């Protein structure tokens, strides 16, 4: 298989993914491929269809295993971006925080909420990423998707968006290639002020000096998951280097060489304590990769 992949595009064997996930977990993948265009992607998918494989964006919402015995597909080379009067076209590998700042610099409103999110457009559409009561579902006009057979165009409604959810989550054959996002021109200085205020807020309230994947659990109806965890006194709880952040109780940080198992053990401990005390089932926002 690897020989075949090598002929199609850049292919790495036994590849270290430590720098490719924001928990900075030591994770080796049997193989990683970097297709440059849709034809190469199609050929890759044809080769790997009977093997374990997955798309990895910026690795900011996944908990990777020590060894991934399959093929990781990285779409970093799908990184085109074009600005039009009332929309921006962005390919799946483009970073949303970069796009957010690009738009502010050019005086366009639409993505001010996203400047602190270290994810790709692909990962953010998949998760319907959002912040400050806004999310990508509010601005997505259409998405270009490869469904394993052909390239299709879905409109906003067809994406079945809901809170941190989209059609992509329920059908792993669907790969987001690019999308069009609605933007409107706005006062550049006002946009900069909004983004600066939010950056300050994030710096004060989130643990950005340690590796993490951001919020671990969804907020249950009417209450912040972080408050429940904080009220139980779990800040600072540490299992083998996986630690509940002392700054933000809904963040788990990799404090010292944690593994997937350590993070999952900590997640389970938090879930159990929250269930025992409040009878609330916390729902994981991050994805555990097998």
Ligand X SMILES: Cc1cc2nc3c(=O)[nH]c(=O)nc-3n(C[C@H](O)[C@H](O)[C@H](O)COP(=O)(O)OP(=O)(O)OC[C@H]3O[C@@H](n4cnc5c(N)ncnc54)[C@H](O)[C@@H]3O)c2cc1C
- CB neighbours of 225 closer than 8 A, spacing ≥ 6? 215, 216, 217, 218, 219, 249, 250, 282
Q: Among 164, 166, 178, 212, which one carries the catalytic annotation?
A: 164
Which of 140, 154, 168, 243 is in the footprint of ligand X by CB under 6 A? 168
Work out whether 127 is an interface residue with ligand X (CB under 6 A). yes
CA distances from 95 to 175, 179, 281 (A): 16, 13, 32
Work out whether 45 is an interface residue with ligand X (CB under 6 A). no
Q: Is 290 a catalytic residue?
A: no
Q: Is 157 a catalytic residue?
A: no
Tell me the window of 51-59, 152-160, 230-238, 271-279 that interacts with ligand X (CB under 6 A): 51-59
- What is the smallest separation between the CB atom of 284 and ligand X, expressed in angstroms? 12
Q: Is 36 a catalytic residue?
A: no
CA–CA separation, 262 and 174 (whole Å): 31
Angle at 99 between CA 42 and CA 177, to 5 degrees: 15
Determine contact, residues 30/71, Cβ cutoff 8 Å.
yes
DSSP 8-state code for residue 131: E
Work out whether 178 is an interface residue with ligand X (CB under 6 A). no
Work out whether 252 is an interface residue with ligand X (CB under 6 A). no
Which of 5, 32, 92, 249 is in the footprint of ligand X by CB under 6 A? 92
Which of 5, 213, 266, 282 is in the footprint of ligand X by CB under 6 A? 213
Which of 25, 33, 47, 62 is in the footprint of ligand X by CB under 6 A? 62
Please classify residue 30 by burial: count the beta carbons closer than 10 Å to its beta carbon, then call 0-12 exposed, 13-18 middle and 19+ buried.
middle
Residues near ligand X, by CB under 6 A: 22, 54-62, 75, 92, 116-120, 122-124, 126-127, 129-131, 168, 175-176, 208, 212-214, 287
């Amino acid at each position: 298989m690897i020989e075949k992949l090598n002929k199609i595009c850049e292919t790495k064997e036994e590849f270290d993914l430590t720098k490719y996930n924001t928990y900075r977990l030591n994770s080796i993948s049997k193989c990683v491929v970097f297709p440059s265009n849709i034809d190469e992607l199609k050929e890759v998918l044809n080769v790997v269809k009977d093997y374990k494989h997955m798309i990895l964006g910026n690795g900011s919402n996944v908990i990777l295993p020590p060894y991934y015995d399959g093929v990781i597909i990285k779409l970093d080379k799908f990184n085109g971006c074009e600005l039009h009067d009332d929309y921006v076209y962005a390919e799946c590998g483009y970073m949303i925080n970069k796009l957010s700042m690009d738009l502010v610099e050019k005086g366009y409103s639409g993505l001010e909420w996203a400047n602190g999110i270290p994810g790709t457009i692909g990962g953010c559409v998949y998760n319907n990423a959002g912040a400050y009561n806004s999310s990508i579902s509010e601005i997505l006009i259409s998405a270009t998707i490869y469904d394993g057979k052909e390239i299709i165009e879905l409109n906003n409604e067809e994406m079945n968006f809901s809170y941190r959810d989209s059609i992509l989550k329920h059908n792993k054959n669907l790969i987001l290639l690019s999308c069009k996002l609605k933007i409107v021109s706005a006062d550049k200085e006002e946009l900069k002020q909004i983004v600066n205020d939010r950056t300050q807020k994030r710096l004060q309230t989130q643990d950005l000096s340690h590796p993490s994947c951001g919020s671990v659990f969804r907020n249950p109806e009417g209450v912040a998951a972080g408050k429940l965890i904080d009220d139980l006194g779990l800040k600072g709880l540490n299992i083998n280097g996986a630690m509940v952040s002392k700054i933000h109780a809904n963040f788990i940080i990799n404090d010292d060489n944690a593994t997937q198992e350590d993070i999952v053990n900590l997640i389970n401990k938090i879930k159990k304590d929250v269930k025992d005390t409040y009878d609330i089932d916390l729902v994981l926002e991050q994805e555990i990769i097998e």
